[in-house]
Amino acid sequence: MIAIIDYGSGNVGAIMNILRQRKIPHMLTGDPKELAEADRFILPGVGAFDPTMETLQRSGIVDALSEEVLGKGKKALGICVGMHLLAEGSDEGSLPGLGWIPGCVRKIDARRLNSKPKLPHMGWNSVAITPGAALFDGIDADRGFYFLHSYYFDAADPAHVKARVSYGDDLPCAVERENVFGMQFHPEKSHANGTQVFVNFADAA
């Protein structure tokens, strides 16, 4: 059972549609008491850092979710802002993140880019995948994924970076630390590649 954490994100319907089509058991919940029913979790990805953290904190779900993921070793997947929540903090806000993967979320600095693409980074991009990355089996890296962001996850340990995207610079776009995964792109908007990511997450041992 996958629990999609409900904090008002606007893309949960698309995620649920994919899981329903692939007959993957799931539920949408913001109730800490229901988390024990799931064996993996998705933190969906539309919103800003501080308001999303505030919603999680008000719901009382942070401690319960941390116990399930860090204490019991259940898997978690953060998407876009959901990925940002996994960090220790973000340039987008002042609140601390969950800190499940060491590092901070940085704003893309257009002054440092090799070229001058528009921000936010929006649209399809190919990705460079680290061999053996757990959630990328069966992925067409050249076709890539759909992105919409102005921030990236600056992981403290480069070994936690499992995919990168070229957009005026070589930017991390997927991270992994043991049972915790994060993706900057939107798999729910990425057609066959995105569907495969969710299948891989559901099947990951």
**Residue positions annotated with a catalytic role:** 80, 186, 188
145-149 and 89-90 strand pairing:
unpaired
Return the number of other C-beta atoms located less than 10 Å from residue 160's C-beta. 20
Which residues, listed in sequence order, are joined to residue 194 by a DSSP beta bridge? none
DSSP state of 157: S
Residues 184, 66, 152: CA angle, nearest 5 degrees: 20
Phi-psi region of 144 (alpha: psi -120 to 50; beta: other; left: phi over 0): left
Which residues, listed in sequence order, are joined to residue 175 by a DSSP beta bridge? 161, 182
Residues 148, 32, 178: CA angle, nearest 5 degrees: 60
38 HSE (CA, 13 A, CB side)? 28
Q: Which of 18, 19, 15 is nearest to 43 (CA)?
A: 15
Q: Which of 188, 76, 186 is nearest to 121 (CA)?
A: 186
